[in-house]
Structures are given as C-alpha cells and as structure tokens.
Amino acid sequence: MDPGKVPDLRSLPRAEIDRLLARLGEKPYRARQLFRWLHQKGAASLDEMSDLPATLRARLAAETSLAALERAEERRSTDGTIKWTWRTHDGKLIESVYMPEPGRKTLCVSTQAGCAVGCTFCMTGTMGLSRNLSSGEIVDQVSRANRRLVELGEGAAPRPLTNLVFMGMGEPLHNFDAVKAALDVLLAEDGPNFSNRHVTVSTSGIVPEMRRFGEETDVKLAVSLNATTDEVRTALMPLNRRWPLRELLAACREFPMKKGRRITFEYVMLGGVNDADADAIRLSRMVKGIPAKVNLIPYNENPGLGFRAPAPGRVEAFRDILLSANVTAVVRRNRGSDIAAACGQLAAEGGPGDPRRRAGGSTPPLTENGSAG
Ligand code: SAH
Ligand code: SF4
C-alpha cells in the first residue's frame, strides 16, 4: 500500500465513496459498509473489513490508499485528561487531547502539523508549519481515540466521544478544504454522526475564511481574541497586522449565526499583558451586539516563551467585570497541565518546537502512567 497514492479512502466524503464503489460496479450497500468500517469502526486496514468480499478489497488496495495514524505516545493526567501523540504515514507527530467531564466527553483535534500563524505565546506557534493534515488524518484522530477509549473502558463502542473541538495544533481555517471534508465525514449519519451543535472550530481570526466557514458549514465558531487593543494583539498574534480588531469584530457581527447560537471568544489571560481591569472593560464593549460568550483561559506557562500566568484572583476579577456588564463569561479550567496537554502546550516533544530540545535538555519519559502505543 502506498499512502502517497490517490485517492486516500479515509479522506473521501460519503458521496465520493458512493461514486467510487459505483464505478467499481458494486451495489450501494457496499459503500455504506465501507464507510462504516472506515469511520464507525475505525478500521486501520482493508484486511479488517471482514464482510467485504476479498475481490473488492483487492481492487480497493490496487486503486486507493488507506493509512492509519499510529499511536506514538499516550499520557494520562491525574484529572482524567489523556493526550495522544500520533505518527502520520510520513513521520509527522500530531496530538489530540481527550477531556472527560460529567455529561460530555470531548476530543480536541489537530488540523495541521505545526502552525504558520506564529502567536508568540503558543507552543505550536514556535514550530512553524510543517504541513496541512488531510481530512483523513483529521477524522482518524477521532476514530483512533474512540477505539482506544473503548479499550480503556471509557465508554461504549463505537463512539464514547460526544463533542469535538478543533483547538489542537494548527489553524483550521488555513486548512479549510480538509477541515470541511472532515466535518462532512464526522457529521455523517452512517459515520461518526456527531451533532453540529457539539462541534466547535476555533480560529485565530482569518477574516476572509470566516465568511466562507459561516456559509459552508453549520458547526460552531470560536474566535481567539486574546487582546483588546491592536497594539497588544499584534504583539501576541502577528496576523492582527493583516486583520486588525475592527475587521475581525465586523466579520463576527456579519457571521451568519444559526438561531440560538453564539460565537465563543477565547481570551488567553497573560499576567501583566492583557489581564487588567481596563482590558475587561474594553472587552465588554467590544463584544456588545454580538451573540457571544467569552471563555477566559488562564495562560499555561510554556518554558522559554517569556509569558506568565495571571496573578491569583485576577481571572475572577476580570470575569466579574464582564459579568457585571452582562457579558456571559466562563473560566476554562486548565486540563492535563501535568502532561503538557493544556491549551497551547501542544508541540510534539523532541521536535523542532520543543524548547527542551533546543536547550539540549533531557528527553521526557515516554509515558507518565499510560502505556506506549
Ligand atoms: N489556531 C486556532 C486553534 C488552536 S489554538 C486558534 O488559535 O484559535 C486554541 C486556543 O489555545 C487559542 O484560543 C489559543 O489562544 C489558546 N492558547 C494557545 N497557547 C496557550 C497557552 N499557553 N495557554 C492557554 N491558552 C493557549
Ligand atoms: Fe496557531 Fe492557534 Fe497557536 Fe496561534 S494560538 S500559533 S493560531 S495554534
């Protein structure tokens, strides 16, 4: 099997699978079977698809490719969070994070190996972009996680996961086509069948693509705001030079919002940088008129990047200012920070983005208390 060959079976939306099997002279139910193997059962290879005739599997093997992510590492946090590092067919390391909560089980998925946006506080940003993930690699993170969670007794087959957030490594709207194709598969009834209300895509604010996202998908949008002045935002997120706050907020106002929906504004709180009372006051004015909720994310410190977490009590004081201005605001609890699985700590360790490597530090243990893949 040559994963460089096209088409990649796991990347194909349902309609393409239908077309492919029709072209091979197969009955429609075969397409349904194949799609289920790929996306409900998370088959790693054609050999697993025991109820497909051997002749069909042989033709698929000859005309298509099927790659699966390999589990390179699993780390489990004391709070139930699990971080997986996956190895792609060409040796890239990407990460997904599982966050169980009462009533919901969320997976945070990556959309790129690295990220080109280069936010100065973000670990992934220090890596630069290695490459876009294919839609198959995006959906396979979900399949691998579901399979592994069943093995770990975290839920029932085929799908312990209830929610997805596209907030791992990478900028989803820099890889729009693959993200859109992945959503098509992830929401498919014959596939993983996630509800559009339970899937959120987060962007750093790629303004032109936000419009397209609103027109072409029906999942939820989160926007990483992170500052209340252009000066501070540009220092944190270089893309603010291209799409400053005024344009970003206009795009949010124009966003085609479904009934009852709100945009989530993420706001990483960096001690002494963007966490003053004046920021909270400006923020509450900025989001006026936009159906929105604000997620305050206390910064998870990354060694070597030079930013600090907010001082004790700051996050609550900031939130209270927003609440008193009638802005919905919640503090996002840090998850899995003991295993570097928290927001913005995702950078394949030992890779070019790992400051320990640059500093010549020792290699971290392969797993904390989970088993290696
Ligand atoms: N690229 C997209 C999605 C991935 S980043 C985006 O930027 O929206 C997901 C979120 O993690 C962003 O809101 C980002 O601001 C935040 N983040 C990055 N590094 C962080 C850190 N060290 N601590 C807390 N949040 C961080
Ligand atoms: Fe990329 Fe998001 Fe990190 Fe910025 S915060 S570098 S956009 S992953």
- The CATH number assigned to the domain holding 280 equals 3.20.20.70
What is the total count of domains within the chain?
2
Are both 54 and 77 inside the same structural domain? no
pLDDT in tens, 117-166: 999 999 999 989 999 999 999 999 999 999 999 999 999 999 999 999 99
Are both 317 and 219 inside the same structural domain? yes
330 strand-pairing partners: 295
Are both 163 and 95 inside the same structural domain? yes
Q: Is 169 in the pocket of ligand 1 (CB under 6 A)?
A: no
End residue of a domain, out of 39, 63, 87: 63
Are both 178 and 51 inside the same structural domain? no
Are both 120 and 47 inside the same structural domain? no
Whether residue 359 has pLDDT greater than 80: no
Would residue 140 count as lying in a domain?
A: yes
Beta carbons within 8 Å of 171's beta carbon, 6+ residues apart? 111, 112, 115, 116, 117, 203, 204, 206
Q: How far is the CA of 229 from the centre of ligand 1 (A)?
A: 18
In this structure, which ligand is nearest to the CA of 225? 1
Are both 29 and 120 inside the same structural domain? no
Would residue 368 count as lying in a domain?
A: no
Would residue 364 count as lying in a domain?
A: no
Whether residue 293 has pLDDT greater than 90: yes
In this structure, which ligand is nearest to the CA of 172? 1
Are both 332 and 205 inside the same structural domain? yes
Average pLDDT over residues 342-362: 49
Would residue 292 count as lying in a domain?
A: yes
Are both 272 and 128 inside the same structural domain? yes
Would residue 86 count as lying in a domain?
A: yes
- The CATH number assigned to the domain holding 54 equals 1.10.150.530
Would residue 19 count as lying in a domain?
A: yes
Whether residue 355 has pLDDT greater than 90: no
Are both 295 and 331 inside the same structural domain? yes
Beta carbons within 8 Å of 358's beta carbon, 6+ residues apart? 304
Would residue 1 count as lying in a domain?
A: no
Confidence bin at 339 (pLDDT 50/70/90): confident
The residue range of the domain holding 173 is 70-358
| Whether 343 is catalytic | yes
Are both 314 and 330 inside the same structural domain? yes
End residue of a domain, out of 63, 84, 99: 63
| Whether 115 is catalytic | no
Nearest CA owner, ligand 1 atom 17: 344
Q: What is the pLDDT of residue 303?
A: 85
- Alpha helices, DSSP H only, in the chain? 14-23, 28-39, 54-63, 135-151, 176-186, 207-216, 230-236, 245-254, 277-286, 314-324, 355-358
Contact (Cβ atoms closer than 8 angstroms) between residue 269 and residue 275: yes
| Average pLDDT of every residue of the chain | 90
Are both 58 and 74 inside the same structural domain? no
Q: What is the pLDDT of residue 334?
A: 74
Q: Which residues line ligand 2 (CB under 6 A)?
A: 115, 117-119, 122, 124-125, 170-171, 204, 224, 344
Nearest CA owner, ligand 1 atom 3: 167
Would residue 283 count as lying in a domain?
A: yes
The closest of 113, 124, 109, 104 to 185, measured between CA atoms, is 109
pLDDT in tens, 201-234: 999 999 999 999 999 999 999 999 999 999 999 9
Are both 271 and 339 inside the same structural domain? yes
